[in-house]
Amino acid sequence: MRNSTIFWGFNFLLTIMIFMVACKTEPKINLVEEPSLTEDLADGKYPYGRLSTYGFFSGELNKLSPEEKVIPYKPASSLFTDYALKSRFIFFPEGTKTKLVNNEFEFPEGTILIKNFYYPTDFRKPESDRRIIETRLLINEENGWVAYPYIWNEIQTDAVLKVVGGQMEVSFTDNTGKDQVINYIVPNKNQCKTCHNKNESLAPIGVKVQHLNNELEFKSGKANQLAHWTDLGKLEGFEGEKSHPAMVNYEDENLPLQDRAMAYLDINCSHCHSAEGPASTSGLFLTYDQKDPRKLGVNKIPVAAGNGAGTFDFDIVPGKADESIIPHRMNSTEVGIAMPELGRTTVHKEGVKLIKDWINGMK
């Protein structure tokens, strides 16, 4: 009788252990491991298990040297992600083009956005030695955009699809010569929609006309990015840079403070705080073209900030940044207070200073 009890007890424990392991297993996803070049990616076979399979880059993968059909792009201002640097590329399927209608891009099915996140060993020498952490793909599939996160291996030879995301410790020397350590978090596939959310559908953030209506250095020379797409036959509807909105680089301290602040809020906050975003009920709309002071938060009581408001009453108190909720939340990493909620584990000190200077300059 005792042996029987031990036997069944052992089997019960074994069953529990198997269940726990199963719960930790990554969500099942169909992978295609056979190599394929970019000339035929819109065949419904992706996602591939390895980044190298897509054929986006030539030579050593970690050099991120794009193939001819893969076009580099760069928004005027960058979304803050724990001080990570980024390189971005876009792929348009053969024979397709993007349409620009009412300053909104209509991307063809099969368009792929490629965003690489990396850290230089020493930020004072950003081009010397670096570690690529992840590559995020946004693929415009039959039913809309889908996000796929790829995490790079330690030897920097390839990146593997990890739909559950991940985290790793990243160390580097910052621009002041100080050693820094960051617990970098790669969002899982579902978390991507938290920020990439437009009317409850996943959508790009940085690939918008106001972000790309500026110049970038290409192999053929310096040119307006949207004019370059047009010359390549990949865009129609672009009527010249002066006919479309354009944002500035918020890091350029030589530019007007108002323009820099609005650029910062747009790229970092407006994907949620807009009429089409998940924070639309807040009444706080932080788009680059917002002119209504109340919708920017001036003397506005938050709708449901909860503990996030701290001891403050208004989103923005003109002339008093230290009494305003917006910089208070930007200056925190505490869950329930920190804004943005995802995408960072550190405070963007330069961004906080910019928004504080902007608020303190208000009358």
Question: What is the average pLDDT across 303-323?
Answer: 88
Q: Is the peptide bond preceding residue 35 cis, with omega within 30 degrees of 0?
A: no
Q: Pick the range with the lowest mean pLDDT from 24-28, 122-126, 328-332, 352-356.
A: 24-28
Q: How far apart are the first and last CA of the chain?
A: 85
Instruction: Give the residue ranges of DSSP H helices in the chain.
Output: 2-23, 192-195, 209-212, 225-231, 257-269, 325-330, 349-360
With pLDDT > 90 as the criterion, what percentage of the chain qualifies? Answer: 68
Please give the full DSSP string across 65-112, using - where no structure is assigned: EE-TTEEEE--SS---STT-EEEEEEE--TT--EEEETTEEEPPTT-E
In angstroms, the CA 155 to CA 247 distance is: 38
- The first and second tokens of residue 116, run together, are 């690489």
- The structure tokens 């530019």 sit at 255
Measured in degrees and rounded to the nearest 5, phi and psi for residue 32 equal -115, 120
Q: Pick the range with the lowest mean pLDDT from 51-65, 150-164, 191-205, 253-267.
A: 191-205
Question: What is the average pLDDT across 127-137?
Answer: 93
Percentage helix, strand, coil for the chain under 3-state DSSP, each rounded to 5: 25, 25, 50
At residue 42, the pLDDT reads: 42
112-138 as b/e: b if 16+ CB within 10 A: bbbbbbbbbebbeeeeeebbbbbbbbb
With pLDDT > 70 as the criterion, what percentage of the chain qualifies? Answer: 84
Query: Which pLDDT band, with edges at 50, 70 and 90, does 339 fall under?
Result: confident
Helices 257-269 & 349-360 angle (0-180, nearest 10) = 130
CA-angle at 267, arms to 262 and 270, nearest 5° = 80
HSE-CB for 65 with a 13 A CA cutoff: 6
Question: What is the average pLDDT across 295-319?
Answer: 88
In angstroms, the CA 8 to CA 113 distance is: 53
98 pLDDT above the threshold of 90: yes
In angstroms, the CA 335 to CA 212 distance is: 33
- The structure tokens 């992706």 sit at 46
What are the tens digits of pLDDT across the range 207-242?
999 999 999 999 999 999 999 999 999 999 999 999
25 pLDDT above the threshold of 60: no
Higher pLDDT, 31 or 274: 274
CA-angle at 204, arms to 198 and 208, nearest 5° = 100
- The first and second tokens of residue 9, run together, are 């007890």
pTM of the model: 0.84
12 pLDDT above the threshold of 90: no
Cα-based torsion angle of the residue sequence 274, 250, 360, 304 in order, rounded to the nearest 10 degrees: 20
Question: What is the average pLDDT across 41-53?
Answer: 77
33 pLDDT above the threshold of 50: no
Residues near 337 by beta carbon (within 8 Å), at least 6 away in sequence = 307, 308, 310, 328, 329
1 pLDDT above the threshold of 80: no
Of the candidates 209, 166, 207, the residue with the CA atom closest to the CA atom of residue 188: 166
At residue 194, the pLDDT reads: 60
CB atoms within 10 A of CB 190: 12
Query: If you count them, how many residues does the chain have?
Result: 363
323 pLDDT above the threshold of 60: yes
Which one-letter DSSP state was computed for residue 219? T
- The structure tokens 């699809």 sit at 161
At residue 199, the pLDDT reads: 53
